[in-house]
Amino acid sequence: MAYFAPYVDDAGLHVPTYNDIRDDLLAKFQEIYGNDLYLGNDSQDYQMISAFALKTYDTIQLLQIVYNNHSPKTAVGTGLSSLVKLNGIRRKAASYSTCVLTLTGKPGTVIAAGVAEDDQRRKWELPQDIKFESESLEVTARCRDIGAIEAPVGTITKISNPQYGWLAVTNKVPAVKGRAVETDEELRRRQELSTAVPSQNMVDSTLAGIASVAGVTQYKVYENDTNHTDDNGVPSHSIAAVVEGGLDAQVAEQIYLRKGPGCGTHGTTTAIYINSDGLKNEIRFFRPIYQKVAAKVTVKKYATYTTAVETAIKHNISTYIERLGIGVNVTTTGVLTAIAAAVDDALRPSFALQSVQLGRAGGALGIADVVIPYNAIAKSGAVTVEVV
């Protein structure tokens, strides 16, 4: 394609390619210095023209980025972060994982800047100047590493900086995972939802309000507009919000402000919202239940089968399950797709799939999909690969 100057029309921004720029410069050189000028790939003039063309194309690519950053659909990075402020939202920053630790020590002991350690050698920082009023004490520790750091029950058991009177540490509950910085894709989705805040569809507005709460990672709202309790147990003319993350009070506030007049709320978590008249309103919603799903895969190995293939199968299945949202079933089809992703060469696969079995962790496995309740989230349990 011949070189053309960049321009904008109804279809968007049009820019020349690197080859267009280079070839046009070569043609201009020959117009100036004559057709007998040697411009082979090994000539100094060609190398100079290529350098000029590359620098020009770099500038044009920047022009493309600047143009794309005018729309939330194509903006990236700081450009997208700036755009969404027009909708009254901002990119969610990364957060730290926290965990309630049970400490054992001598009464009267004061721990200054205590640090515990998990079995992955990650550090968990205790609050400053903790004092034992009795032999046991519960405190909330924060992981030193930012992001979604996990710590299952009983994995934080080492005292990293021993201090007199502090005898032991453990975690009786799993850590509350932090999160990585919000991705462009996640922010675009939230920006789309934010435009529904003033919507006259109150379910969309409620979703947008919940999505705006800091710390919320997953959410879903079920509406029962009938005169009877529905199959999920949601009472008539009520909504049931399932929300992961965020403070109870802030989630309840958004539900109250967005739900319709006379619409009831259903759930096992209750928070009180006081409206502008000073009246107390009881708002109910669900925190998701986590259900572990186990998978067993049987394969027949071929000559190219290695432990790396087995690891890829396990990883792909676990990733598939962990990415499922609220109330989404774990399907055999989804697991099959995850297994297929471990095949590098479809013409010469390293294994033949014999069977796939799924089930709740600790229960019987079978070929049927695993049904996840409307207020639950599937989590990956044990994934085993049997080679025959």
Tokens of 149: 């750091």
Residue whose C-alpha is closest to residue 50's, from 38, 61, 42, 59:
42
| pLDDT at 199 (0 to 100) | 57
Identify the residue whose tokens are 């002991």: 109
Burial of 160 (0-12, 13-18, 19+ CB in 10 A): middle
| pLDDT at 200 (0 to 100) | 58
Distances (CA, A) of 162 to 104, 189, 210: 12, 46, 43
Identify the residue whose tokens are 């299945």: 317
CA–CA separation, 146 and 179 (whole Å) = 8
CA–CA separation, 265 and 25 (whole Å) = 68
pTM score? 0.58
Please give the single-letter amino acid code of residue 174.
P
| pLDDT at 193 (0 to 100) | 75
Distances (CA, A) of 46 to 18, 30, 31, 43: 14, 11, 15, 5
Query: Could you read off the pLDDT tens digit of each residue along the chain, which spans 388 residues?
Result: 789 999 999 889 999 999 999 999 999 999 999 888 888 889 999 999 999 999 999 999 999 999 999 888 889 999 999 988 888 788 888 888 988 899 999 999 999 889 999 999 999 999 888 889 889 988 889 999 998 898 988 999 999 999 999 999 999 888 888 888 888 998 998 888 777 656 557 888 899 889 888 888 899 999 999 999 999 999 999 999 999 988 899 999 999 998 888 899 999 999 999 988 889 999 999 999 999 999 999 999 999 999 999 999 999 999 999 999 999 999 999 999 999 999 999 899 999 999 999 999 989 999 999 999 999 999 999 999 999 9
Tokens of 159: 């005292």
Identify the residue whose tokens are 């044009």: 60
| pLDDT at 23 (0 to 100) | 93
Pairing of β 264-265 and β 269-274? unpaired
Encode 100-110: b = buried (16+ Cβ within 10 Å), e = exposed. ebebebeeebe
CA–CA separation, 211 and 241 (whole Å) = 12
| pLDDT at 196 (0 to 100) | 62
SS3 track for 213-274: CCCCCEEEEEEECCCCCCCCCCCCCEEEEEEECCCHHHHHHHHHHHCCCCCEECCCEEEEEE
CA–CA separation, 198 and 201 (whole Å) = 9
CA–CA separation, 79 and 13 (whole Å) = 17
CA–CA separation, 349 and 305 (whole Å) = 8
| pLDDT at 92 (0 to 100) | 82
- Tell me the CB-side half-sphere exposure of residue 224, using CA atoms within 13 A: 18
Compute the CA torsion angle 21, 27, 29, 35 (nearest 10 deg). 160
